[in-house]
Amino acid sequence: MLALMLAAALADPGAGISETLARERAAAISSLRYELDFRLPASRTQPIRARAVVRFRLASPHRIVLDFANPRDRVLSVTHGGNSVETVLSDDHVTIPAGYTTKGENELTIEFIAGDDSLNRNDEFLYTLFVPARARLAFPCFDQPDLKARYTLRLDVPAGWQAVANGAAGAAEMRKDRIRLAFAETQPLPTYLFSFAAGKFQVETATRDGRELRMFHRETDPAKVKRNREAIFDLHASALAWMEKYTGIPYPFGKFDFVLIPSFQFGGMEHAGAILYNASGLFLDESATQNQLLGRASLIAHETAHMWFGDLVTMRWFNDVWMKEVFANFMAAKIVNPSFPEVNHELRFLLSHYPAAYDVDRTAGTNPIRQQLANLNEAGQLYGAIIYQKAPIVMRQLEMIVGEEKFRDGLREYLKKYAFANATWTDLIAILDTRTPQDLAAWSRAWVDERGRPEFMASAPGGTAQRGTITLTLRDPLRRGLVWPQRLRVTIGDAAGLHHEQVDVTGPSTTIGTFKEPPDFVLPNGGGLGYGLFVLDESSRTWLLAHLPEIPDAITRAAAWVTLWDNLLESRIQPRAFLDLAMRALPLETDEQNTQRILNYVVRAYWRFLPQDERLSRASALESMLREGLARGKTSSQKSAWFSAFRDVAQTQEGLAWLERVWRREEKIAGLTFAETDEIEMAMELAVREVPAWKTILDTQHERIQNPDRKQRFAFVRPALSADAAEREASFERFKLLENRRREPWVLEAQRYLNHPLREAHARRFIRPSLELLRDIQRTGDIFFPKRWMDATLGGHRGEEAVKDVNDFLAGESQYPQRLHWTVLTALDEVVRAAHAQ
């Protein structure tokens, strides 16, 4: 009976790393250590010979399933305690039957050829990047975040190479043309944080606060290094000092190195004690803007904060990956923002988080922050606006509810309690819950475990208000009865001006206040805090549509624009009225961040919410307004925002003729210089409008392009721009082959032009085949590709027919994967709303 149960429980480990397999291993294995030995050849095409010694404890004999996603012949030998072992090999695993294992200490030795896919082998250097579960592509391991291990690494490298890893570098032993390097044993780390880089690097060293910091890089321009060096060390040192003070925990990983990689996949990756960065984010040019300096400081602070949030305490499973990202950003903002007093950080937070979060959260395809994750091979699908944009808003609300100091104390306790171990979101909430009278478990359910956002409606100030009392009513659009407790700064506008009322939402009905005179408008999110759909009452809507530019405070104006856009999408505001207001407001707007946001809405409203005849009747006035804005712009970034909007909407003969002259370099714009990419975009926008010379414009543009990568990309996208429908159809057919989809930005650009609003009628034929490709795209593409593919497909459509095509497709797919279904619904959302608005 017992034997049968065991057999049933220990099923085939299957593909990837299922949660079941992860739980089985975490329960059985403890005191894990890896001793890894890699021999790195000078040539990147030669195989890497390697050995792994894996030591661990078992409470009783148990089968051992190692992850190793490589052809079976790459496993050369496996021994246990020196005795040869017969393993079961599959595409993803090496399984050692329980009979070979013993109670207590076990030692497995595996000789193997390392896989190259996550080693990023270049001609003169390589580096590992194992997040989220890619260590198994390189070496046999337990590739799950809650089997933390101590690593001892040895590298055998060509003479002249440098190497850096998580552990401190030990003695180097020279042998003819090779060097053997040994690294000290690390603190307990999950596989995704284990890392090394080796190759031809320069090393810069500095001492800050008694700690030695080392920077590895491959920059050949000594002036560039000199210009940035001190600032880069200083930024790391101040971030470290700040984090030690905030957490009350000294930097946990001993030595501190970082490596600047050319063309690194991300901005940075927080490998403990050996952070990897994209070199271009840290080595800035002399002309660096305030934004780039702020971006660099934020990136360094973000990765440094991860040493505590993510590295010291790690999520138990990747469904909580959002936590480490949110905390790293949250800390980075606290560390960096005070050093940039000239930036309106509140406004920046509002505009860079709320609109993008709403674009997903208002749709039927939205997902909760915390999602189920059955297998780590699906971890890529967790990433998106809900994690990157909504979660930071939610965390800021949590700090407000708990209070800054208690929140910090809770985080300290959490870091101390789970140091060098793993924790879940529930573990953190349990700690914070003891520090506040609020029921945080209920709070967390609405904000983190469930999808969607609340709908708010204020009682009309001039209308039904009882003796001048204004109340705010909350509704759960998905009818689960959820309340989203949150703090609001409600803006009330009346004859005396604007004032803000702080209000805590704790139930379905909230009193904002009692007013002798009915105010002009009530904007519940006017202070930039509230999250949800704020349905405007009639008098507030009327007032804002007439007077929004008169609001003196930039954050309230921004919140009003975000709210008006939401109300437009709800068919509570006419697209025409929205555009009329934008036309009047843009020339008066003084804040560049707001200008950018309004221009973005204008372009979207113009293409998506106006029929072509109405676009044409408005085009002339719109283009003039944008040209005036361009002339007025003070900086090149302001001018560039106005110019881009003009280029994207231009439709009149006069406007297109001017754009063509600019592209032909016959006309200059004072204060704005164009790079190659700008000219390419102009040429494409002219071509899709089929200006008489479109063909020669494309020919000339192809000639003009100097950069070989961009020339190839242009040649790839070009057929999608053709006025010849058959050529466009052939251009689409290419996407059905994987080899034509490898360069995802190229594919997306072509797909966007095939489905440009001006080609909507013809492009309807691409909708169904694009949907039919989606599963393949998800299986073979990068993590953001499926969503972007659907956005590019449906971005130019606005008719009932498109909605019908998509719904028919979904109706015919009974077993369609949930996340992909959501992806389609999110991309379809605005098409549906545009169809309704007609």
Q: How far apart are CA 679 and CA 533, in angstroms?
A: 39
Q: Quick check: helix, strand or coil at residue 763?
A: helix
Q: Which stretch binds Zn ion (CB under 5 A): 318-326, 483-491, 667-675, 770-778?
A: 318-326
Strand partners, 257: 214, 274
Of the two residues 328 and 586, which places its CB atom closer to Zn ion in the complex? 328
Residues 563 and 534: beta-carbon distance below 8 Å: yes
Q: How far apart are CA 696 and CA 692, in angstroms?
A: 9
The residue within the footprint of Zn ion, chosen from 169, 328, 428, 834 (CB under 5 A), is 328
Of the two residues 303 and 685, which places its CB atom closer to Zn ion in the complex? 303
Say which DSSP state 218 is in: -
Name the residue with tokens 């689960």.
Answer: 480
Applying CB under 5 A, does 243 fall inside the site for Zn ion?
Answer: no
Of the two residues 66 and 135, which places its CB atom closer to Zn ion in the complex? 135
Q: How far apart are CB 323 and Zn ion at their closest, in Å?
A: 11
Of the two residues 181 and 328, which places its CB atom closer to Zn ion in the complex? 328
Q: How far apart are CB 302 and Zn ion at their closest, in Å?
A: 6
Q: How far apart are CB 203 and Zn ion at their closest, in Å?
A: 25
Q: How far apart are CB 278 and Zn ion at their closest, in Å?
A: 13
Q: How far apart are CB 319 and Zn ion at their closest, in Å?
A: 16
Phi, psi of 85 (to 5 degrees): -125, 140
Torsion of CA 432, 434, 435, 439, to 10 degrees: 80
Q: Within 10 Å of residue 336's Cβ, how many Cβ atoms?
A: 24
Q: Which stretch binds Zn ion (CB under 5 A): 86-94, 195-203, 323-331, 783-791?
A: 323-331
Of the two residues 302 and 453, which places its CB atom closer to Zn ion in the complex? 302
Residue 10 neighbours by CB under 8 Å, 6+ apart: 24, 63
Applying CB under 5 A, does 386 fall inside the site for Zn ion?
Answer: no
Q: How far does Cα 633 stand from its chain's mean position?
A: 31
Of the two residues 325 and 359, which places its CB atom closer to Zn ion in the complex? 325
Residues 361 and 388: beta-carbon distance below 8 Å: no
Applying CB under 5 A, does 299 fall inside the site for Zn ion?
Answer: no
Q: How far apart are CB 270 and Zn ion at their closest, in Å?
A: 6
Of the two residues 62 and 296, which places its CB atom closer to Zn ion in the complex? 296
Q: How far apart are CB 334 and Zn ion at their closest, in Å?
A: 15
Residue type for 600, please? N
Q: How far apart are CB 633 and Zn ion at their closest, in Å?
A: 34
Q: How far apart are CA 117 and CA 804, in angstroms?
A: 41
Of the two residues 325 and 791, which places its CB atom closer to Zn ion in the complex? 325
Q: How far apart are CA 799 and CA 774, in angstroms?
A: 21
Of the two residues 327 and 565, which places its CB atom closer to Zn ion in the complex? 327
Footprint of Zn ion on 28-87 (CB under 5 A):
none
Q: Which stretch binds Zn ion (CB under 5 A): 56-64, 256-264, 322-330, 446-454?
A: 322-330
Footprint of Zn ion on 612-641 (CB under 5 A):
none
Of the two residues 699 and 782, which places its CB atom closer to Zn ion in the complex? 782
Of the two residues 192 and 609, which places its CB atom closer to Zn ion in the complex? 192
Of the two residues 192 and 354, which places its CB atom closer to Zn ion in the complex? 192
Name the residue whose CB lies closest to Zn ion.
Answer: 328
Torsion of CA 327, 330, 331, 336, to 10 degrees: 150
Of the two residues 274 and 328, which places its CB atom closer to Zn ion in the complex? 328
Q: How far apart are CB 332 and Zn ion at their closest, in Å?
A: 9
Q: How far apart are CA 94 and CA 78, in angstroms?
A: 9
Binding flags for Zn ion, 509-548, as an x/- string (CB under 5 A): ----------------------------------------
Alpha-carbon distances, residue 284 vs 216, 225, 232, 288, 619 (angstroms): 16, 9, 10, 6, 40
Q: Which stretch binds Zn ion (CB under 5 A): 105-113, 241-249, 321-329, 499-507?
A: 321-329
Q: Which stretch binds Zn ion (CB under 5 A): 40-48, 222-230, 326-334, 780-788?
A: 326-334
Q: Which stretch binds Zn ion (CB under 5 A): 159-167, 325-333, 680-688, 725-733?
A: 325-333
Q: How far apart are CA 742 and CA 226, in angstroms?
A: 38
Applying CB under 5 A, does 323 fall inside the site for Zn ion?
Answer: no
Q: Which of 580, 585, 617, 582 is nearest to 601 (CA)?
A: 582
Q: How far apart are CB 251 and Zn ion at their closest, in Å?
A: 17
Q: How far apart are CB 121 and Zn ion at their closest, in Å?
A: 25
Q: Which two tokens stand for residue 290?
A: 């305030």
Q: Which of 212, 171, 168, 167 is nearest to 189 (CA)?
A: 167
Of the two residues 307 and 630, which places its CB atom closer to Zn ion in the complex? 307
Q: How far apart are CA 615 and CA 613, in angstroms?
A: 5
Residue 561 neighbours by CB under 8 Å, 6+ apart: 548, 594, 597, 598, 601
Q: How far apart are CA 616 and CA 359, in angstroms?
A: 27
Q: Which of 256, 381, 398, 255 is nearest to 326 (CA)?
A: 398
Q: How far apart are CB 243 and Zn ion at their closest, in Å?
A: 14
Q: Which stretch binds Zn ion (CB under 5 A): 80-88, 144-152, 320-328, 600-608?
A: 320-328
Q: Which stretch binds Zn ion (CB under 5 A): 166-174, 317-325, 378-386, 389-397?
A: 317-325
Residues 159 and 171: beta-carbon distance below 8 Å: no
Q: Within 10 Å of residue 88's Cβ, how many Cβ atoms?
A: 13
Q: How far apart are CA 838 and CA 835, in angstroms?
A: 6
Q: Which stretch binds Zn ion (CB under 5 A): 45-53, 319-327, 623-631, 806-814?
A: 319-327
Q: How far apart are CA 282 and CA 266, in angstroms?
A: 13
Angle between helices 725-733 and 760-780 (to 10 degrees): 10
Number of residues that bind Zn ion (CB under 5 A): 2
Q: How far apart are CB 127 and Zn ion at their closest, in Å?
A: 17
Footprint of Zn ion on 727-756 (CB under 5 A):
none
Q: How far apart are CB 257 and Zn ion at their closest, in Å?
A: 18
Q: How far apart are CA 132 and CA 143, in angstroms?
A: 9
Q: How far apart are CA 687 and CA 682, in angstroms?
A: 9
Q: How far apart are CB 272 and Zn ion at their closest, in Å?
A: 13
Of the two residues 66 and 328, which places its CB atom closer to Zn ion in the complex? 328
Own/partner pairs for 265-268, CB < 8 Å, 24+ apart?
A: 265/129, 267/299, 267/302, 268/299, 268/300, 268/302, 268/303
Q: How far apart are CB 268 and Zn ion at their closest, in Å?
A: 7
Q: Could you give the count of Cα atoms lying within 13 Å of 277 in the half-sphere of its Cβ?
A: 27
Where would I find the beta strands (DSSP E) of 86-227? 88-89, 93-96, 104-113, 125-127, 150-158, 162-165, 169-175, 178-183, 196-199, 202-208, 211-217
Q: How far apart are CB 307 and Zn ion at their closest, in Å?
A: 11
Q: How far does Cα 224 stand from its chain's mean position?
A: 29
Of the two residues 325 and 829, which places its CB atom closer to Zn ion in the complex? 325
Residues 838 and 614: beta-carbon distance below 8 Å: no
Measure CA of the first residue to CA of the last residue in the chain; give whole Å: 67
Of the two residues 332 and 763, which places its CB atom closer to Zn ion in the complex? 332
Of the two residues 301 and 686, which places its CB atom closer to Zn ion in the complex? 301
Q: How far apart are CB 267 and Zn ion at their closest, in Å?
A: 8
Q: Which stretch binds Zn ion (CB under 5 A): 328-336, 390-398, 461-469, 714-722?
A: 328-336
Could you list the residues that contact Zn ion (CB under 5 A)? Answer: 325, 328
